[in-house]
């Protein structure tokens, strides 16, 4: 199974911080990876304080308060890459990082300088070459960085392995929801027992893989039903149901409305028994 990821380059940079230089407390809008080239400093995040120095790195997560402070005697020099996208956090999880464990070791921080130069050169090119070059560089950066991370911690790292199993399950569902999907077959493709996969998935997502698949399909169906160009049968096939009647049954079980009544509610068609909050519930 070839996995495709959706991540977007935002910006990059490098800073030689002055003694005691501080950013924050504040919130960043994108994900960031920072690599410490020289010196040392402190990173406050999620209720924890991390004392970091050359050869370390850390992740910044959007929407959470953080603070970065350079040491008074030996201020740090760090570089960074900012990114976003549907699979941004998946990239960090694949490296064994999470909001409870956002720091990592990087034995060769100067390696990132090569990418800094590449991003700068790409940004100076005209569109659409600029966008393509930045995207290509970002994907190659993550391939290299993840390779370094996985070789240093070992592929058998239990927390990271559990995370990867769940991430691959989510990615497989996202890419194949319009086809027949068997959780047993999915577990075989990923390489673990079906019961074990369900246990890991429930621990992290709080629902079973089957229910996640159902909810994902129904959310996609809601989007498609807002188009008058598709019949109910077309929508059913588009989200993995060859039988429109079965699709209608499952849709009503999840939303409380039949597909046709849901579509009418979205388009403002009046029916006596349509709940007043149907439109809000469908979003």
Query: What is the domain range of residue 271?
Result: 217-282
Nearest to 64 by CA among 48, 50, 45, 41: 45
Number of Cβ within 10 Å of residue 35's Cβ equals 26
Are residues 86 and 46 part of one domain? yes
Contact present, 21 and 78 (Cβ < 8 Å): no
Number of Cβ within 10 Å of residue 229's Cβ equals 6
pLDDT per residue rounded down to tens, the chain (283 residues)? 456 789 999 999 999 999 999 998 999 999 999 999 999 999 999 989 999 998 899 999 999 999 999 999 999 999 999 999 999 998 898 888 888 889 988 877 778 888 999 999 998 999 899 999 999 999 999 988 888 787 665 444 444 467 778 888 888 888 788 888 888 888 877 777 888 889 999 998 999 999 999 999 999 999 999 877 789 999 999 999 999 999 999 999 999 999 999 998 888 764 444 444 444 444 4
CATH number at residue 168: 1.10.10
Are residues 14 and 149 part of one domain? yes
Handedness of CA 219, 225, 227, 231 (dihedral sign): positive
Q: How far apart are CA 234 and CA 230, in angstroms?
A: 6
Q: How far apart are CA 165 and CA 198, in angstroms?
A: 10
**Whether this model's pTM surpasses 0.85:** no
Residue 2 lies in a domain: no
Are residues 47 and 78 part of one domain? yes
Nearest to 152 by CA among 113, 101, 98, 106: 106
Structural domains in the chain (count): 3
Are residues 140 and 190 part of one domain? no
Maximum CA pair distance of the chain?
73
What secondary structure does DSSP assign to 20-83, as a single string?
T-EEEEEE-SSEEEEEEEESEEEEEETTEEEEEETTEEEEE-TTSEEEEEE-SSSB-EEEEEEE
Are residues 48 and 112 part of one domain? yes
Residue 1 lies in a domain: no
Are residues 148 and 21 part of one domain? yes
Are residues 89 and 46 part of one domain? yes
Residue 3 lies in a domain: no
Residue 238 lies in a domain: yes
Residue 59 lies in a domain: yes
Are residues 240 and 205 part of one domain? no
């Amino acid at each position: 199974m070839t996995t495709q990821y959706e991540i977007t380059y935002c910006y990059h940079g490098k800073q030689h911080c002055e003694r005691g230089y501080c950013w924050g407390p504040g919130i960043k809008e994108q994900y960031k990876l920072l690599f410490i080239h020289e010196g040392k400093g402190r990173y406050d995040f999620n209720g924890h304080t991390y004392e970091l120095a050359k050869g370390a790195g850390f992740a910044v997560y959007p929407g959470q308060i953080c603070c970065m402070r350079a040491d008074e005697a030996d201020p740090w020099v760090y570089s960074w890459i900012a990114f976003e996208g549907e699979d941004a956090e998946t990239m960090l999880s694949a490296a064994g990082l999470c909001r409870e464990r956002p720091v990592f070791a990087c034995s060769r921080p100067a390696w990132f300088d090569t990418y800094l130069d590449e991003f700068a050169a790409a940004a100076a090119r005209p569109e659409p070459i600029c966008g393509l070059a930045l995207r290509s560089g970002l994907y190659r950066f993550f391939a290299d960085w993840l390779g370094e991370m996985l070789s240093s911690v070992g592929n058998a790292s239990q927390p990271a392995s559990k995370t990867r199993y769940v991430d691959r399950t989510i990615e497989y569902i996202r890419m194949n929801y319009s086809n027949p999907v068997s959780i047993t077959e999915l577990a075989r493709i990923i390489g673990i027992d079906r019961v074990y996969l369900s246990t890991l998935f429930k621990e992290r997502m709080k629902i079973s893989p089957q229910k996640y698949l159902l909810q994902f399909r129904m959310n996609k169906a809601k989007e498609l039903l807002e188009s008058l160009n598709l019949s109910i049968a077309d929508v059913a096939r588009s989200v993995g149901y060859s039988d429109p009647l079965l699709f209608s049954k499952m849709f009503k079980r999840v939303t409380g409305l039949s597909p046709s009544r849901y579509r009418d509610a979205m388009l403002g068609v009046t029916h006596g028994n349509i709940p007043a909050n149907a439109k809000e519930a469908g979003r």
